[in-house]
Amino acid sequence: MSEKTQGEELKEKLFNDKKNGWESVSEEEGRNIFNYCDGYMKFLNEAKTEREIVKRATEIAKENGYKEISEYSTLKAGDKVYYINKGKNLFLAVIGEENIENGINIVGSHADSPRLDLKPNPVYEDHGFAYFKTHYYGGIKKYQWTAIPLSIHGVVVKTNGEKVEINIGEKDDEPIFTITDLLPHLAQDQMGKKLKDGIEGENLNLLIGSIPYNDGKASEKVKLNILNIINRKYGIVEKDFLSAEIELVPALKCRSLGFDESLVVGYGQDDKVCVYTSLTAMLNVQNPKKTAVCIFADKEEIGSMGNTGMESNVFSTFMSEILNKLGVNRPNLLDKMFCNSKMLSADVDAGFDPIYSQVSEINNASFLNKGVGVNKYTGARGKSGGSDANAEFVAYVRNIFESNNIAYQVAELGKVDVGGGGTIAYIMANKNMDVIDAGIAVQNMHAPCEVVSKADVYEAYRAYIAFLKDMD
């Protein structure tokens, strides 16, 4: 083997070369990656909505020694607590040995994903077909949601407070649903429109049945028959939809992708991939130096508003309760603790796609298979609406990743003038804590089926463990 030239050695020393992570994976590491992602895919198939995510994550946390914070009168180092907010977001914490005034280490992701929701008055009949009216949630391409199998998930709460859970379309012996579209032969006008206008939001109506109720005198017989079936199965009437949260998601299983099975394809990986990796990372945190916290937020896809979004006071309430039960609370302590805290905003990034390379700036794009994507800033165009991590904190994060041999890449979301996006990072940064986005590159983001790299999923898991344990 020939010796490296001076220039080759200098290039190796000075250049930031993004290498394909699979190239350095040993046989044993490969088995670990695939085994870990088997668990990840199982988790995605078990929980597709934020309520289901919170329920399943709580079960896993309890199996690993976590208790609801109300079960504790006092807290000490090593205690594991959780708090559920209105069934749609979840907080986990492991109490650290250090004075909590010195700050906490946080990994925060979000459990909600783009989807279709039912309108409050969803059921109608038209020319012998029964439909549900929908309202899309988050940023979607509407045409991607037609002519695909859909399942129905959610809850209906009756006036007496009884809660009815609905989950239909996931099992092989259950019916599925779909939104119809035109055949190409009759779609000349439709296909002549701009892509964003080809499908109108008010036409995203879910087909739910076609058999009329056997009564010659009744009107709207198909609607009547469908409501009768729903009533017999769930004990609800049409008015109960007024107090319901029902979501439509793809009735598709999360699967391995490719002959080499190196990728994962499935719905909702933005941002459930970071939910799973941060959850399983927390299970590896025992007796940390600093209190370790994991956040599963809601409403991120629509601006983090509402009482389950991170714009609410719920996280401050949770941390205040911890301070109270540690017996250290006093005026301004919460604010001081936040000022000394550090956080990874665990959210995904737009992975470079060679077919659509024109939207990416190649030197600052996030690539599948090249490790955790670290976004110093998010926002749109002139960094509007995003946080911008300071250089000192970026150096801290780099040091932790490099010390633990974690593959990472620094990226941004597309070309400057093309668009942009945000996460919960700016909300937490407004509390004066150090925050940076660190997540996983995704192709097909916000589509019914998204794609990630198994190597990146495992690397994110390792990165979150290192951050929660080692960040000073």
pLDDT of res. 173: 96
Alpha-carbon dihedral angle through residues 90, 92, 98, 102, given to the nearest 10 degrees: -20
d(CA 197, CA 200): 6
Q: How many CB atoms lie within 10 A of CB 176?
A: 16
- Omega within 30 of 0 (cis) for the link into 417: no
Q: What tokens does 386 get?
A: 């995003």
Q: How many CB atoms lie within 10 A of CB 327?
A: 9
The answer to whether 136 touches 116, Cβ cutoff 8 Å, is: yes
The partner residues of 226 in beta bridges, in order of sequence, read none
pLDDT of res. 224: 97
- Look at the domain 115-250 and name its fold: Aminopeptidase i, Domain 2 (2.30.250)
Residue range(s) in the chain whose domain bears CATH number 3.40.630.10: 21-112+267-470
Q: Spell out, as residue ranges, where the chain has pLDDT lower than 50.
A: none
207 Cβ neighbours under 8 A, 6+ residues apart: 129, 130, 131, 177, 178, 179, 180
Residue range(s) in the chain whose domain bears CATH number 2.30.250.10: 115-250
The answer to whether 383 touches 377, Cβ cutoff 8 Å, is: yes
pLDDT of res. 1: 54
Give the side-chain half-sphere CA count within 13 A for 46: 14
Question: Taking the mean position of all CA atoms in its chain, how far away is CA 93?
Answer: 19
Amino acid at 307: N
Give CATH for domain 21-112+267-470.
Answer: 3.40.630.10
Sign of the Cα pseudo-torsion (396, 400, 402, 408, in order):
negative
pLDDT of res. 290: 96
User: Of all helices (H) and strands (E), which one includes residue 23?
Assistant: none
pLDDT of res. 249: 98
Buried/exposed code over 135-170 (b: 16+ C-beta within 10 A; e: otherwise) = ebbbebebebbbebebbbbbbbeeeeeeeeebeebb
The answer to whether 213 touches 227, Cβ cutoff 8 Å, is: no
The partner residues of 293 in beta bridges, in order of sequence, read 93, 106
d(CA 51, CA 34): 27
